[in-house]
Structure 1
Amino acid sequence: MTTLPKILFLLLAMTLGVSANERPVDCVDPLIDTHLSRWFYFNSASRPFGMVNLSPDTQTKGSWKSGYLYGDTHIRCFSHVHAWQLAGIPVMPITGEMTGHQGMDTYQSEYSHDDEVVKPGYHKVMLKDYGITAELTSTPRIGFHRYTFPDAEEAYVLFDVGALLAHGPMVDAQVRKVSDHEIEGMSMMKRTGRRRKETAIYFVASFSEPIQGFGGWNATEVEGEGKDPKISKTPVHGVTEIKGANSGAYAKVPAGKTLLMKVAISYVSTENARMNLAAELAHWDFDATVKESSNEWNQMLSRIEVQGGTDDQRRKFYTDLWRAMLGRRIVSDVDGSYMDMTGDDPVARKVAPGPDGKPAFNMHNFDAWWGSHWSLNVLWPLLCPEVYSDFCNTSLEMYENGGRIPRGPSGGNYTSVMIGDSSAPALTSAWQKGIRTFDGEKALEGLVKNTGPQGGRYIGGYAVESNPNAWKEYEEKGYISRANSLPGGHGKAVSSLTMYNAYHDWCIAEMAKSLGKDDVFDTFIMKVGNYKNVIWPEKKCAWVRMPDGAWKDGFKPVDSVFEQDGFCEASAAMTTFFVPHDPQGLAEVCGGTAALADLLDGYFKASEPKNFTIGSHGRFHAETFVDYTNQDSTGMAHVFNRIGYPWLTQKWVRKVQELNYAGCDPYHGYNGDEDQGQMGAVSALMALGLFQFDGGSGRNSSFDLTAPIFDKVTIRLSEKYYQGKTVSIVVKNNQPDNVYIQSAAWNGMPWNACLMPFDSFIQGGLLELELGPQPNKQWGVTSN
């Protein structure tokens, strides 16, 4: 390329806002909003949905404000598991005196962001106290370490596998030297209030250099309980095995050299960890593994390509997509083995093989589906439908084993996260979108069972037992009164549960109709209007019923509390709009579409000064009308689309996107609980100008259209599920103030609706949008 064409090419790239060599993976910034992390939030050395998430920990106590926090100055360890209610296998390289028995407060090391490189699949940092350069990467089930040690008298790798980590202490631990190049062991996590059974993680660690010495430490005295006990530990040398609660081990390694270490894990056994090691990482080429990880991430992220926008907009968008493929991790081994923890005792099982002889799907661990109908359920079919299928099959495998479709499984355990029956929209949305590589009839059977008196629907947050009286009242009256709270967390959120039930019943009815089960459809379609029983027409707001049908005293649409009595992490005002299946029906109760639009527009205006947020998780969710930092608000701006005011959806979606989700540094980005990809998915969908207010669970589901922030979007749909079709969205007159759609065309023909049927979208084509600074109130108010 001669000089002049090269210059013109670079100028064109700058005009488009696209770097000449920019790949989607290169746009991802793992450090965004890491100043106040949850244990599972930060990711660096991890593959998409990988079992291993190897990363530094600056805080190791608690589920919140733990893991990697950007503002901290010391690294306590590198641990391999950062998942929903799971943690394990912390290691730390050191030089000088062996201080493992003195604990992380002693052997932690100062570090600086100036000496740090963080990318998807790779983390590099200098441990300043030891002069060690530590580099981390991974395969799905293996953490791969490269430590460059300085010249020193002694060098060690500590395996503090019995240490307290995140959600609680380890009740047992074991490390055994197998050979001069290999050790193996396990950690047994104590049960928590959410994960009700002790859960083991097994590992095998392989070293590139010979182990020169092995030993460890045992606890000799433990004072106190909880998350900060006082433990005295005694070092033990010249042994081949260390075991017991609060124990750990060290491997003495050559100083002044570069050490490679592979740590494979399994939830089944050390033998399976060794099998994972042989299958996934037979070589010692660290740099090649970093490249493989980067390429895998890039392949996934490239399924949605954007052009234009600012550098920060592209950086945030691809970070959002990346986050949507984290957190909800694989828990089965390469041969499909996994631990079934649904019964009284753990049972090792294996996923049946598919036609290629490999496991038909991966088993996954995940936080609740709660809220995913407005986030992951919409994005995943575009981004990773094959993984969505795995999640559906995981749910049915657990149903087969334990008799209940899970709300949010942890390591094979039932956890009953939040309240409601959020697996209903998750499974039905996949089915309606053509992801039918799971047993639909079994899914429907399990979903119907969940709605019964002993079903998962009536188990409160993290509880075990249901409240059959709540079921009875709902079936008889069409609402749950304050008298029939559920056991467990959010048990008083009876009006939220009534709202959820109505939507979830609609999801079940729609799936039943798709499967030709008219009797099931007839039963559940009769309940989909039950949300109206907790909408107070005179107040135009959801509220709480008493057993006699009277409204509870003390009405307030918002209140300065974590969650209002009767509502789940929300205010009464925002819960009013939880009607994904029937916004028109809500309008009828609240005085018509104009009255509802005016009310909701006022809520957004009132919430704008606080950027539609309440701040970090743990603040008062109920203090505001609109809260885009938590799940139950994330569909509110799209209500306007469904009641004839699409220009207001366009206005407020862009406002929320810019004020709440556009942050692109360690102190901003999500402004709350990102929750394993959910807020990343909402942010990405807003940037694309796509959404599904009904969560995609309807037989005739549609995308809600708004203005993308990019000049062009290219979505490459799955070959397996959507014949590899491509959808392109081209935006004309795209300027920061031009947020309103003036006109649209689909495959060259005028498109006058603010909705596009999903079935039309997946046929592929070109959507052209022309934008302007003022609303065109004639566009989008009719159907095509």
Structure 2
Amino acid sequence: MKTHKEKMKGWLAGFFVAGTLFCSCSDKSGEVIPTDYVNPFIGASTNIQAAGAYHGLGKTYPGAVVPYGAVQVSPNTITGGDNGSGYSYEHRTIEGFAFTQMSGVGWYGDLGNLLVMPTVGKMHTNSGKENGVEGYRSAYDKASEKATAGYYKVFLTDYQVNVEATASLHSGMLRFTYPQSKQARIQIDLARRVGGTSTFQAVKVIDEHTIEGRMECTPEGGGWGNGDGKANYTVYFYTQFSKPLKDFGFWEVTVPEGQSRKREFIESAAFQELTSQARIVRNVREFQGKHIGFFMEFDTEVGEEVLLKSGISYVSESGAELNLKKEIADWNFEKIREQARNQWEVALSKIKVRGGSEEQKWIFYTALYHTMIDPRIFADVDGKYVGADGKVHESDRFTKRTIFSGWDVFRSQMPLQTIINPSLVNDLLWSLTTMAEESGNSYYERWEFLNAYSGCMLGNPAISVLADAYAKDICQLNMDKAYAYADKTSKMFGNSALGYSLNPSSISKTLEYAYTEWCMSRLAEAMGKHEDAEYYAKLSQSYRNLYDTEKHCFRPREADGSFEAWPAKGILQEGYGCTECNEYQQRWFVPHDIQGMVELMGGIEQVVADLDTLFAKTPVDFLWNAYYNHANEPVHHIPYLYNRLGEPWKTQKCSRFICDNAYHNSVEGLVGNEDVGQMSAWYVLSACGLYPICPGDTRYEITSPLFDEVSIQVGNNKTFVIKTYHNSSENVYIQSARLNGKQYSKCYLDYKDIMKGGLLELDMAAIPNEKWGK
């Protein structure tokens, strides 16, 4: 184990190797096959001890999904706790395979609905616990566990059943291979939910191969934020079995009146005892209740395959049926698996890389894969979706999408998508705008989850995405309506009352609101609203009102204008006016006015020295720390500030070092929560040699690419290529550049330069060229 001193050697020294799954995955021409470089186990751990912080590691899941699909068929190893994906690699038992999951989230997760488990022998109606409490969960052979793009498999040792999963956009399929048994079955726990339980379930047998039903998930059942996220959704299912329903039934748990359904109870021994005493009901074809399950029993021969497929809808049972019949009409598991792989191949081929190490390719394409999970499709195949008013709507003008982890994804994930999937960003903005309208709230939510105004985190990230998309000319929505909602949002959550925001998180709020107030000024100016533009431009300078010239840092102010008392750890005190960071980390978030920030902080020389110290004191493993804490979003733009301070070679060194040391081809390969694509999008952009400091401004900083060549599909059959010469792990510094054959001395590109296609050539060497890019 490394000592503390060894960890603190800093970004200028050290080399850390941690990776798995090395092989050459190219076709005969040497062309990289992107799907062969996807390792869904990267980040698939919630382990707090390994992370060294309560936030845990990546919190991704390894199950089957297609790009932006509504269905994710994935193993679940745990219910409860801060385990948003329902899975953690170090767990040694699996409690079932759910058809919905969240990727990389903290704050107590949600979904994990329609939990299916193949069992053999005695039937249990409780899940059991990994610490030895008996239930329907099973140990599994870790060596048998495999995950690729659109496919997952594992062998359950307690039942001697092999499980395989694949998925389509709105549907999924499981294939179970059983031993010989007179007591084989499939169980479906309809109450189960990652962060609690659904609070009402109904199921109906339609014919000898089909059931349908629904699971109502309300805040009373926990879920997102353990209920504080206000998640209120219904999952409808239409499920078919390859084996006929000859012997089937239901189980029902009698939940005491007034009993909490949230995570504290479902994590308890009392919950296991209660659910183990469920009433078994047979000889009926329809059942409903507050905590029920369904099972079917049958005989099996050695190696007999039994398949289950299910359509999922958030609209209706008929919607779930239509989704399944449109997508998985037969029982050809291999065909669906191949279709899923092909969908991923098309999606991931939007960026092709050459050169680099095998490790870097695995990390890159898995990162790109993780950026294509959300915002997921929320509408059925016919375009129908449930709006924030609880009513069914239909649209052919956009695809309704959900799960906007705003505070995270406005920084890298959405700017990446504006390049490779601009229509997706337009869909998201349509979706957030219709939500504002249908809900009657007329403002943009900062962390949207299945129509819920969860209120999670801070800032006005939807305004950032809107202003960025408008500046890039990819908005196709009613901009008058969108502007009105953005204007109301800024006035509800902003710095207008005092010129700064109060605690909690005074510094974080003030700086983030100042940034989106700048976004509003840009948007207003572009739309000809000059008075609004002037109003918001003044508010964008609100960050100055928290700066203490005596302490040379930002400090939270009280309502009377006085500073909050100075903390014991000073600028390193996490939580002192900040959310999930300290002042030393948050202070750099003035992306819209870097020149003003520099002047406020004492000039370029002082700011560069402070940045140098920040990185020099950062531990090499990049786990949670008080300096450059890559495990969390507030710092993600900081390495690129050197480009704006006249020392772009330091950006090149930093970005390469972070790519090499904060990301690995292993379960522990993400040092912090994936956060719905943000952590991975940072890597994708940085590995390509581009990064946006300030969404809303169309400038992308140039840094040192990891690969010899990066080809990006930018629409209309155009490709933007970034090509390096003499690139290597030592040659990280840009010596000179050419854009479309002409010498190029700037350390940034404009969005339009990227989107019209072309060629950026970079000459690399081991020694910085301190004149290029200044």
* TM class, shorter-length: 0.7 to 0.9
Q: 1:16 to 1:250 in 2, by over 3 A?
A: closer
Q: 1:435 to 1:124 in 2, by over 3 A?
A: same
2 CA distance for matches of 1:600 and 1:59? 41
The question of whether the paired residues in 1 share the 8 Å contact of 2:71 and 2:167 is answered with yes
Which of 395, 409, 418 is matched with 2:432 structurally?
395
Give the corresponding residue for 1:431.
Answer: 470
2 CA distance for matches of 1:479 and 1:316? 41
Give the corresponding residue for 2:246.
Answer: 212
Which of 507, 513, 536 is matched with 1:495 structurally?
507
Give the corresponding residue for 1:703.
Answer: 700
Q: 1:533 to 1:55 in 2, by over 3 A?
A: same
1:750 and 2:743 equivalent?
Answer: yes
Alpha-carbon deviation of 1:120?
A: 1.2
1:593 and 2:586 equivalent?
Answer: no
2 CA distance for matches of 1:769 and 1:513? 36
The question of whether the paired residues in 2 share the 8 Å contact of 1:101 and 1:234 is answered with no
1:568 and 2:561 equivalent?
Answer: no
Q: How far does the alpha carbon of each residue in 1:494-532 deviate from its partner, in whole angstroms, 9 at most, with x for none?
A: 121110111001111112222222232122112221111
**In structure 2, the residue corresponding to 1:100 is in which secondary structure?**
coil
**In structure 2, the residue corresponding to 1:64 is in which secondary structure?**
coil
| Matched letter for residue 639 of structure 1 | L
Give the corresponding residue for 2:659.
Answer: 657
Q: For residues 516-531 of structure 1, what are the structure 2 equivalents within 5 Å?
A: 516-531=528-543
Percent identity, aligned pairs only, is 30
Question: What runs of 5+ residues in structure 2 fail to find an aligned partner?
Answer: 1-22, 48-55, 103-108
Q: 1:375 to 1:102 in 2, by over 3 A?
A: closer
1 CA distance for matches of 2:676 and 2:661? 21
1:28 and 2:49 equivalent?
Answer: no
1:147 and 2:176 equivalent?
Answer: yes
Give the corresponding residue for 1:466.
Answer: none
Alpha-carbon deviation of 1:336?
A: 2.1
**In structure 2, the residue corresponding to 1:547 is in which secondary structure?**
coil
The question of whether the paired residues in 2 share the 8 Å contact of 1:138 and 1:293 is answered with yes
Give the corresponding residue for 1:87.
Answer: 112
Q: 1:197 to 1:738 in 2, by over 3 A?
A: closer
Give the corresponding residue for 1:58.
Answer: 77
Q: 1:364 to 1:86 in 2, by over 3 A?
A: farther
Which of 700, 705, 713 is matched with 2:710 structurally?
713
The question of whether the paired residues in 2 share the 8 Å contact of 1:306 and 1:712 is answered with yes
Q: For residues 148-227 of structure 1, what are the structure 2 equivalents within 5 Å?
A: 148-163=177-192, 165-191=193-219, 192=222, 193-220=227-254, 222=256, 225=260, 226-227=265-266
1:241 and 2:280 equivalent?
Answer: no
Which of 65, 85, 89 is matched with 1:46 structurally?
65
Which of 73, 81, 84 is matched with 2:92 structurally?
73
Question: What runs of 5+ residues in structure 1 fail to find an aligned partner?
Answer: 1-12, 354-359, 458-470, 486-491, 615-622
The question of whether the paired residues in 1 share the 8 Å contact of 2:653 and 2:704 is answered with no
Which of 377, 381, 385 is matched with 1:330 structurally?
377
1 CA distance for matches of 2:459 and 2:110? 20
Give the corresponding residue for 1:110.
Answer: 139
Give the corresponding residue for 1:312.
Answer: 359
The question of whether the paired residues in 2 share the 8 Å contact of 1:535 and 1:576 is answered with no
Give the corresponding residue for 1:5.
Answer: none
Q: For residues 453-532 of structure 1, what are the structure 2 equivalents within 5 Å?
A: 455=492, 457=493, 474-481=495-502, 485=503, 492-532=504-544
1 CA distance for matches of 2:549 and 2:609? 15
Alpha-carbon deviation of 1:406?
A: 1.9
1:415 and 2:426 equivalent?
Answer: no
The Cα RMSD (Å) is: 2.3
The question of whether the paired residues in 2 share the 8 Å contact of 1:613 and 1:626 is answered with no
| Matched letter for residue 215 of structure 2 | S
1 CA distance for matches of 2:101 and 2:537? 41
1:603 and 2:644 equivalent?
Answer: no
2 CA distance for matches of 1:449 and 1:129? 56
Give the corresponding residue for 1:540.
Answer: 552
The question of whether the paired residues in 1 share the 8 Å contact of 2:552 and 2:601 is answered with yes
* TM-score (ref. length: structure 2): 0.88
Q: How far does the alpha carbon of each residue in 1:54-111 deviate from its partner, in whole angstroms, 9 at most, with x for none?
A: 1111112234275221111111100111136333110111122333367674111121
Alpha-carbon deviation of 1:32?
A: 1.2
Q: 1:535 to 1:657 in 2, by over 3 A?
A: farther
| Matched letter for residue 426 of structure 1 | V
**In structure 1, the residue corresponding to 2:98 is in which secondary structure?**
strand
2 CA distance for matches of 1:318 and 1:18? 19
Alpha-carbon deviation of 1:440?
A: 2.4
Q: 1:17 to 1:710 in 2, by over 3 A?
A: farther
1:766 and 2:759 equivalent?
Answer: yes
Q: How far does the alpha carbon of each residue in 1:335-361 deviate from its partner, in whole angstroms, 9 at most, with x for none?
A: 2222224x5xxx2222322xxxxxx22
Which of 641, 647, 650 is matched with 2:649 structurally?
647
Give the corresponding residue for 2:12.
Answer: none
Count the aligned residue pairs: 712
| Matched letter for residue 580 of structure 2 | E
Alpha-carbon deviation of 1:137?
A: 0.5
| Matched letter for residue 626 of structure 1 | Y
2 CA distance for matches of 1:213 and 1:779? 75
Give the corresponding residue for 2:305.
Answer: 258
The question of whether the paired residues in 2 share the 8 Å contact of 1:726 and 1:765 is answered with yes
User: Which structure is higher in RCO with an 8 Å CA cutoff and minimum separation 6?
Assistant: 2
